[in-house]
A and B are shown apart, each in its own frame.
Chain A
């Protein structure tokens, strides 16, 4: 089993607001991919989507106002090294992106089952989103 760690996030609080609405349901923000969901063994989650392979990942906005969780992150956007999955804190500001997203509806929420060997400091109050598009920023 691979366990993932995200301890930096424990000091970061999510606010209710989201960045830059682009229409009634969609928003855009810039931030960093900081880790995958700690409870997922694999870097992928579910079926491939329109953007390629999908994964459960956390994104934190540049201004630290939002911690966003998505289960349809287009993992092909980056070539994550193996170490990123074990020690993500070493890559805190490495993978910068701009995403357009919508907030997941009640029906779209994913509840990821965790075995309790995993260190999992996330409190479940992070905003779960559906990524509509993502752009890598150098």
Chain B
């Protein structure tokens, strides 16, 4: 992992800062020649970032999210809110040292309108102004020209300079018609929206209330906040998610073999023991794997962890029947022994006994103990419109700490009609931990509903597409995806159930582990549970035995929130190493290391070993004879 080091940048910042001086006074900008007076907002600053450094700055800001709030305006501008008392120190000691392009105050007009200013301002020169005068002005204030149109020139000021002051100086030069900061006018969260063409149908990842291929639309925000999470991470290729299911297609256009860990011995069902590919129309494993990890490649759909890898393991026979219970246990063990970090399971048995098959329970327990995050779907056992609350099936209800039991919500942020409701009074561990969006109901439950989650399909006529499926009724035709070309029929819009919800959680677990590989399965589960969205208007309450926040019997801790979970993962591995004198050789490890006020004694060595980023802030002393290593 790249580690950045900013001492030289600090020096540059100080040099540039000393080059200019403005007289302090009232703040205003010019609307033509009229002064519009401004006050500084005491607790907000606006930072502007270079594109090549954006991810690291986001992680740096996240590592301080206990004291600041961030609002990204686009892919380079962020409003940072912090307690007024900490404003100056935070700006001086942190913000200016993490490689930002500029830091500007937030202003407010007498009318109460907040005016965000960055390092940019816009001017329109008078027609009679000579080019030599323009060049002279640009050189005087070290501005650079970013864009020239018929209407304006967009200029940017040097690092740490005040765009407002320089814009006013241009206005007062008499050479311009207008000159004012390039105000931030619209506040919206920055999101990484993939270019995959069927992403618009993946309401479970990003729901804006859009109309999907089947004509349905949901509630804006009823999703897992995937694009927001992708702004921080799309996962690491070192993280492997085992999908125990019906197999995964070799070299699927959205999941090439370079992104799969296809192992000899990974087929525990019929057929070639070394080939975990699906057979017949059995696309369920593909559908699960696609939700977790489909590539962001302008093709098909988008996966939650598009840089992580899938380990397909087949546990269903060609006729769709399951393998023996001992072989299921062997398959779990296989995943554990071959390096899977996460095991995604969208299957179960129709029984609520948490000890139904001891050999499977023991295999799950062994996997968790050895560090695998184990995720299970709760089953589709309810029919709430008929008053049937269903039950949480085995093995999702095993009493093994760290196993995540996943129910389903729908496109409206409500409990899906088939998703079982928890029963805290049951002795059979009838507890849903979280829900994740999937289809709303089966057509035999609510006639206008059916499968509507999108994922990958076996290319060609096998699989779920073209439509030959049923969900307890005949599925409506929604088209063929795509209807022609090399990847003909490689995608499906007929996926759903808690089968879709569990891989969403598995994908987010993979993102979390991509940030911090040292987290235990229980810690990953705690993050996912404690960051879930309290959605749907349900009453979430503190509940005995469920310590990770408020909980509801229908929705568990809430709807999976990838963004909040990934943020929490960054915080979980941020090490603050401050106010130390290093008198023995010392190594500090973490995914992000913030360090300040440290002296390394002569003859001693300090090693800062950060997986993602190291921030060194002054005072920091490494005298001759002492060593500092930043990995």
A40 with B320: in contact, given A117-B497, A117-B499 (CB under 8 Å)? Answer: yes
Interface string of B305-321 (1 = CB under 8 A from A): 00000000001100111
What residues of B have a CB within 8 angstroms of the CB of A39 in the complex?
Answer: 320-322, 350
Nearest CB of B to A119, in Å: 5
**Residue B567 is within 8 A (CB to CB) of chain A in the complex:** no
Nearest CB of B to A41, in Å: 2
A113 with B284: in contact, given A121-B388, A123-B381 (CB under 8 Å)? Answer: no
**Residue A89 is within 8 A (CB to CB) of chain B in the complex:** yes
What residues of A have a CB within 8 angstroms of the CB of B1 in the complex?
Answer: none
Contact across chains for B320 and A41 when beta carbons are under 8 A apart: yes
Interface string of B433-445 (1 = CB under 8 A from A): 0000000001011
Nearest CB of A to B331, in Å: 11
Interface string of B571-585 (1 = CB under 8 A from A): 000000000000000
Contact across chains for A120 and B347 when beta carbons are under 8 A apart: no
In the docked arrangement, what's the CA distance between A125 and B43, Å? 61
Nearest opposing residue in chain B for A45, CB measure = B321
Contact across chains for A3 and B383 when beta carbons are under 8 A apart: no
A115 with B349: in contact, given A5-B472, A7-B386 (CB under 8 Å)? Answer: no
Contact across chains for B351 and A123 when beta carbons are under 8 A apart: yes
Nearest opposing residue in chain A for B498, CB measure = A116
Nearest opposing residue in chain B for A111, CB measure = B349
* Cross-chain contact of A3 among B347, B381, B471 (Cβ < 8 A): B471
**Residue A53 is within 8 A (CB to CB) of chain B in the complex:** no
**Residue B418 is within 8 A (CB to CB) of chain A in the complex:** yes
**Residue A64 is within 8 A (CB to CB) of chain B in the complex:** no
A86 with B499: in contact, given A10-B386, A112-B322, A120-B350 (CB under 8 Å)? Answer: no
In the docked arrangement, what's the CA distance between A96 and B464, Å? 34
Contact across chains for B388 and A10 when beta carbons are under 8 A apart: yes
Interface string of B343-365 (1 = CB under 8 A from A): 00011111111001100000000
Measured as residues with beta carbon below 8 angstroms from the partner, the interface class of chain A is 20 to 34
User: Which residues of chain A in 1-57 are interfacial with respect to chain B, using CB atoms and an 8 Å cutoff?
Assistant: 1-5, 7, 10-11, 39-42, 44-45
Nearest CB of B to A9, in Å: 10
What residues of B have a CB within 8 angstroms of the CB of A113 in the complex?
Answer: 315-316, 321-323, 328, 347-349
A117 with B321: in contact, given A5-B444, A123-B391 (CB under 8 Å)? Answer: no
**Residue B409 is within 8 A (CB to CB) of chain A in the complex:** no
**Residue B495 is within 8 A (CB to CB) of chain A in the complex:** yes
Interface string of A88-119 (1 = CB under 8 A from B): 01000000000000000000000111111111
What residues of B have a CB within 8 angstroms of the CB of A45 in the complex?
Answer: 321
* Cross-chain contact of B499 among A7, A115, A123 (Cβ < 8 A): A115
What residues of B have a CB within 8 angstroms of the CB of A81 in the complex?
Answer: none
Nearest CB of A to B269, in Å: 10
Nearest CB of B to A128, in Å: 11
Contact across chains for B316 and A121 when beta carbons are under 8 A apart: no
In the docked arrangement, what's the CA distance between A44 and B380, Å? 23
* Cross-chain contact of A86 among B353, B357, B470, B500 (Cβ < 8 A): B470
Contact across chains for A117 and B284 when beta carbons are under 8 A apart: yes
Contact across chains for B349 and A121 when beta carbons are under 8 A apart: no
**Residue A87 is within 8 A (CB to CB) of chain B in the complex:** yes
With an 8 Å Cβ cutoff, the count of chain B residues facing the other chain is: 58
What residues of B have a CB within 8 angstroms of the CB of A122 in the complex?
Answer: 350, 381
Nearest opposing residue in chain A for B497, CB measure = A117
* Cross-chain contact of B347 among A4, A5, A114, A125 (Cβ < 8 A): A114
In the docked arrangement, what's the CA distance between A119 and B283, Å? 17
Contact across chains for B418 and A86 when beta carbons are under 8 A apart: no
In the docked arrangement, what's the CA distance between A41 and B317, Å? 10
A116 with B377: in contact, given A41-B320, A122-B350 (CB under 8 Å)? Answer: yes
Contact across chains for A42 and B328 when beta carbons are under 8 A apart: no
What residues of A have a CB within 8 angstroms of the CB of B316 in the complex?
Answer: 113, 115
What residues of B have a CB within 8 angstroms of the CB of A114 in the complex?
Answer: 322, 347-350, 379, 393
A1 with B473: in contact, given A112-B350, A119-B442, A121-B381 (CB under 8 Å)? Answer: no
Nearest opposing residue in chain B for A44, CB measure = B319
What residues of A have a CB within 8 angstroms of the CB of B499 in the complex?
Answer: 115-117
Interface string of B365-409 (1 = CB under 8 A from A): 000000000000111111100101011011000000000000000
In the docked arrangement, what's the CA distance between A116 and B392, Å? 12
Contact across chains for B497 and A41 when beta carbons are under 8 A apart: no
**Residue B257 is within 8 A (CB to CB) of chain A in the complex:** no
What residues of B have a CB within 8 angstroms of the CB of A125 in the complex?
Answer: 351
Nearest CB of B to A108, in Å: 14
A124 with B442: in contact, given A1-B281, A1-B284, A111-B357 (CB under 8 Å)? Answer: no
What residues of B have a CB within 8 angstroms of the CB of A5 in the complex?
Answer: 442, 444, 471-473
In the docked arrangement, what's the CA distance between A5 and B441, Å? 13
**Residue B452 is within 8 A (CB to CB) of chain A in the complex:** no
Nearest CB of A to B267, in Å: 15
Interface string of B246-273 (1 = CB under 8 A from A): 1000000000000000000000000000
Chain A residues engaging chain B, CB cutoff 8 angstroms: 1-5, 7, 10-11, 39-42, 44-45, 86-87, 89, 111-125
- Which 7 A-B pairs rank lowest in CB-CB distance, beginning with the nearest? A113-B322, A41-B320, A5-B472, A124-B351, A116-B499, A116-B377, A117-B497
A and B contact pairs by CB, cutoff 8 A, 9 listed: A39-B350, A42-B320, A86-B472, A111-B357, A113-B321, A114-B349, A117-B380, A118-B497, A119-B380
Known A113-B315, A113-B316, A113-B328; further 12 A-B contacts with Cβ < 8 A: A39-B322, A40-B319, A41-B321, A111-B351, A113-B347, A114-B393, A116-B378, A117-B451, A119-B497, A120-B393, A122-B350, A124-B394
